[in-house]
Chains A and B, each alone.
Chain A
Amino acid sequence: DIQMTQSPSSLSASVEDRVTITCRASQSISSYVNWYQQKPGKAPELLIYAASSLQSGVPSRFSGSGSGTDFSLTISSLQSEDSATYYCQQSYSRLTTFGQGTRLEIK
């Protein structure tokens, strides 16, 4: 199985801060990485697909980058509504796997 390791597991930041979450794959997976946002009591929502493509309707302050084994999700100017848990996902293998999640708190 391909393991996805996210860091940090949690962070606290202020409104308008720039925030970056990273994800490392246990083997090279090209650009087969997606990012999701999950708020309490809700299903996850797709933010970024294929490493760097912004899902329709997602604010442009969200961006993704990376290829191979190292990937990142960046929020350019943090807003209060961005408080959530973020997950990376690899879709390279037959059965997808997720990172363990990053809990983002707004100070």
Chain B
Amino acid sequence: EVQLLESGGGLVQPGGSLRLSCAASGITFSTYAISWVRQAPGKGLECVSVISGSGGTTYYADSVKGRFTVSRDNSKNTQYLQMNSLRAEDTAIYYCVGHQLLSAGWFDSWGQGTLVTVSS
């Protein structure tokens, strides 16, 4: 059974930084792409980044480009989302999602989410 566990969320001031982690089990981690999907309070779903299984390909939403960076350590079965220059509008639940195709696929494995709050 695939399990994805996010950590690292919390309260941060505007302009601050935070690093989220996504730890995986039950899968051959290096064969899974990982996306981060966020959901602002009472709002819909937005995919902000994706990284390929090897880590060699990454894509970002325009809303976070230049501020967020994804990376992964396949030896630790863990993927990271480094968030810098945080803004109030980045406040959301962040879900880590595992999927076998980098694109043209579907999201069948979701973590439980971690809450990021950007506020002074």
Contact = CB atoms under 8 A, between A and B. Distances in A.
A89 B45 CA distance: 9
B44 interface: yes
A44 B107 CA distance: 9
Tell me the interface secondary structure of chain B in the complex. Answer: loop
A94 B44 contact: no
Contact of A95 (B44, B60, B111, B113): B60
A87 B95 contact: no
A99 B47 contact: no
Interface stretch (A17-25, A45-53, A65-73, A76-84): A45-53
A99 B104 contact: no
A55 interface: yes
Interface residues of A, number: 24
Tell me the interface secondary structure of chain A in the complex. Answer: loop
Contacts of A89: 45, 106-107
A34 B44 contact: no
Given A91-B103, A94-B59, A95-B50, A43 B44 contact: no
Given A87-B44, A100-B44, A95 B61 contact: yes
Interface string B47-69: 10110000000011110000000
Best-surrounded residue of A32, A36, A43, A92 (most CB of chain B within 10 A): A43
A96 B59 CA distance: 10
Contact of A94 (B103, B106, B107): B103
Contacts of B45: 36, 44, 87, 89, 98, 101
Nearest to B45: A98
A76 B49 CA distance: 35
B110 A98 contact: no
Contacts of A45: 110
11 contacts: A34-B106, A43-B113, A46-B108, A49-B106, A87-B44, A87-B45, A94-B103, A95-B49, A96-B107, A97-B46, A100-B44
Interface of B: 35, 44-47, 49-50, 59-62, 95, 101, 103-108, 110-113
Given A91-B106, A94-B59, 8 more contacts: A43-B113, A50-B106, A87-B45, A91-B101, A92-B103, A95-B49, A96-B47, A97-B46
